[in-house]
Amino acid sequence: MSVLYIVPTPVGNLEDMTMRAIRILREADLVLAEDTRTSSVLLHKYDIHARLESHHKFNEHRTAESVRDRILSGTKVALISDAGTPGISDPGFLLVRTCVEAGIRVETLPGPTALIPALVDSGFPCDRFCFEGFLPVKKGRQTRLKALADEPRTMVFYESPYRLAKTLAQMAGLFGAERQASVSREISKIHEETRRGTLGELAAYYQQNAPKGEIVLVVKGGKVDEEAGETPEAE
């Protein structure tokens, strides 16, 4: 049966690879990577010698059908991204949809992603949450934030270090400066850190201290039941 393998890769520490992920990549005839230069380092570390080709947001519309046809012809294909799980704010959705429509089985391995460690580290209720990914850079940004002002679930965002201070200030204005939030930076890397506080405090801090690296912003939901997240006792 034809299969497309979706293989998560480490968001930081290369030792976060799973044994199954390594096996699948070693067995693959073709590995599709967001950036072949970045991925070649990972493949070299684990002695993986599969053919490596680019699959990124600038060419995925052009290559998805070609990859589908190669899988149907018997080529064993695995898709990876620079870091984390393909399809989560990274290329992958279009190829998965194309393969599903062709009757190809999609096998997605569990593995690294930045949003879950940041969510748990925040200390906010995480039994229910919403993942917003990257906010619109310009058009629609204010509209999206206004729509989330009363969202009761914990919210998780990806953000550029260059826009973090501005985003925190915008959220403070729309959600309230006293709303609790946390900023996780460089997850699973040497300089990993999580800073917690109100939106107002965090906005002021990052206006004075420009952050570097990958950012995950977690914001406590509005009108949150303080008991949320607690597991009821078994009867």
pLDDT in tens, 23-54: 999 999 999 999 999 999 999 999 999 999 99
pLDDT digits (tens, 9 = 90+) for 167-218: 999 999 999 999 999 999 999 999 999 999 999 999 999 999 999 999 999 9
DSSP-assigned letter for residue 84: B
Check: CB of residue 121 under 8 Å from CB of residue 194: yes
In this prediction, residue 163 carries a pLDDT of 95
Check: CB of residue 184 under 8 Å from CB of residue 119: no
In this prediction, residue 167 carries a pLDDT of 97
In this prediction, residue 139 carries a pLDDT of 87
Q: How far apart are CA 23 and CA 44, in angstroms?
A: 14
SS3 content of the chain, % helix, strand, coil (to 5): 35, 20, 45
Percent of the chain with pLDDT over 90: 88
CATH number corresponding to 115-219? 3.30.950.10
Question: 181 pairs with which residues across the strands?
Answer: 197, 219
In this prediction, residue 224 carries a pLDDT of 54
Contacts of 33 (CB under 8 A, 6+ apart): 39, 52, 53, 54, 55, 80, 81, 82
Check: CB of residue 175 under 8 Å from CB of residue 219: yes
Check: CB of residue 54 under 8 Å from CB of residue 36: yes
pTM of the model: 0.88
On the question of pLDDT at 1 being above 80, the answer is no
**Ranges of CATH 3.30.950.10 domains, the chain:** 115-219
For residues 8-28, average pLDDT: 96
**Ranges of CATH 3.40.1010.10 domains, the chain:** 3-108
Find the helix or strand (DSSP H, E) in which 133 lies: strand 129-134
Measured CA distances, 90 to 58, 81, 86, 158 (Å):
11, 7, 5, 12
Nearest residue to 190 (alpha-carbon basis) of 163, 212, 217: 212
CATH number corresponding to 3-108? 3.40.1010.10
Strands 105-108, 77-79: pairing is unpaired
For residues 9-22, average pLDDT: 96
At residue 231 the predicted structure's pLDDT band, cuts being 50, 70 and 90, is very low
On the question of pLDDT at 97 being above 70, the answer is yes
On the question of pLDDT at 56 being above 50, the answer is yes
On the question of pLDDT at 232 being above 50, the answer is no
Within 13 A of 128's CA, how many CA atoms are on the CB side?
Answer: 12
Longest dimension (CA), the chain: 57
Q: How far apart are CA 67 and CA 178, in angstroms?
A: 49
In this prediction, residue 235 carries a pLDDT of 38
Check: CB of residue 99 under 8 Å from CB of residue 78: no
Q: How far apart are CA 87 and CA 23, in angstroms?
A: 21
On the question of pLDDT at 159 being above 70, the answer is yes
Contacts of 146 (CB under 8 A, 6+ apart): 174
